[in-house]
Amino acid sequence: MKTTLFTITAAAGSAYAQGSAWAQCGGQGFTGATTCVSGYTCQSSGVYYSQCVPSSAATTAKATTTAKATTSAKAATTASTTAKASTTSKPTITSTITIKSSTKASTTTAAATSAASVTTVAAAASGVVQFAGVNIAGFDFGCGTDGTCTLSSSDNPGAAGIAQMKHFVTDDGLNAFRLPVGWQYLVNNVVGGTLNAANFAAYDALVQGCLSAGAAMCIIDIHNYARWNGAIVGQGGPTNAQFASLWSQIATKYASNSKVTFGIMNEPHDVDITEWASTVQAAVTAIRQAGATSNRILLPGNDYTSASTFISNGSGAALLKVTNIDGSTTNLIFDVHKYLDSDNSGTSTTCVSNQVAIFQALGDWLRSNERMAMLTETGGGSSDSSCLADVCQELAELNLYSDAFLGWTGWAAGMFDSSYALGETPTLTGGVYVDVPLVKQCIAGKFKTQS
């Protein structure tokens, strides 16, 4: 169980300071500032949440989110879906977010500016995102939210995972897969060590299977929650140099293939966001120095990189400062997650909100900063009527913001069996794969149509 507790703090004294751009400014139980800085208006997104949005660009909101203790968890310890557990609480974050247009360097390397690999922000949404698919879980089994990973629990998706990806591409038209793996697995439990030949070969076989299946994006995801055995990377745990070494080695292997995307880290939590941005910068620099100049890199924020708090907790502001070696932000994509159950945990088969307002606000912020994000985890009950409605509405909204969101990958298929609450693993019957309704109608369905 991933426990996310976030608190909105206010200025000392009897009067609150004005809310900064994109900050929360109201909602049931909220006790902070209810007015916004000049140029921003406090707009309600329902009884639970209001946000400071540009006065000239206020949008209609219909989803809700709560400033309360929430959980964000995935059952992923073994193939039988034993739940991962952690009961950490969130630090209070009071970072002020300043909105400004990002200035990109006018020159980049030829590889980074090739038409096939450069991500640009269009003037208006095209109506459909570029990428959609699912997570192929298994190599991450045994990893907890404290960054411990039990290697004996790791479950190689192998041929089954590759067959699933081929089905998703051929039969569903999906084109993106996220391949979570524990840091410890790749280096055989040696922090700062070299990639273990046998373990990396097994993982690389899955990556190559993703590519051979016809995917346009294969995401390497280090599934350690910004930690190694309980200690935060760059904040008392492994050094930034050790983390950068990992990514330098990985990037060297895939520098020649821009379809491979580097997911810096799964769901950081309880980190100092300024220090974490420095860690992310070290990894980005190492990747680019390794020659991987055309690969996309996913930058995750604090609070399990929740889309709900990406702006308000300072993650957006801190990660805006991360750049490529040449000072540009080409192919640096923000990484966000969002679940739709009552406590934002990703543990219930019932959904209670489509969270459209969250993605409207984040999409507007991305547009104002000329940046893009990727929703790499979302999901719900595979056949529950509430989730079929809400997840489909959530993803339809991302299509309307396709100039700000690259796409989505649902959680999760691979080695999860049918007992897993959020399972998206197709069933093989008589040599034919049958998708769960959530994949058919939403994950794949909304990639095929805007309806």
| Residues forming the active site | 267, 377
Rounded Cα distance, 105 and 122, in Å: 18
DSSP-derived letter for residue 41 is: E
The percent of the chain in helix, strand and coil, each rounded to the nearest 5, is 25, 20, 55
Rounded Cα distance, 151 and 296, in Å: 28
List all residues 6 or more positions away from 433 whose beta carbon is below 8 Å from its beta carbon. Answer: 163, 164, 167, 171, 426, 427
Q: How many CB atoms lie within 10 A of CB 34?
A: 17
156 close to 409: Cβ distance less than 8 angstroms: no
DSSP-derived letter for residue 92 is: P
Site of tokens 């991933």: 2
The pairing of strands 24-26 and 50-54 is antiparallel
Rounded Cα distance, 157 and 322, in Å: 33
Site of tokens 């030949």: 197
Helix (H) or strand (E) holding 164: helix 158-172
DSSP-derived letter for residue 270 is: S
Rounded Cα distance, 260 and 109, in Å: 18
- Tokens encoding 165: 């990806």
Helix (H, G, I), strand (E, B) or coil at 339: coil
Q: How many CB atoms lie within 10 A of CB 257?
A: 14
Chain centroid offset of residue 263 CA: 8
DSSP-derived letter for residue 304 is: G
78 close to 141: Cβ distance less than 8 angstroms: yes
Rounded Cα distance, 266 and 222, in Å: 6
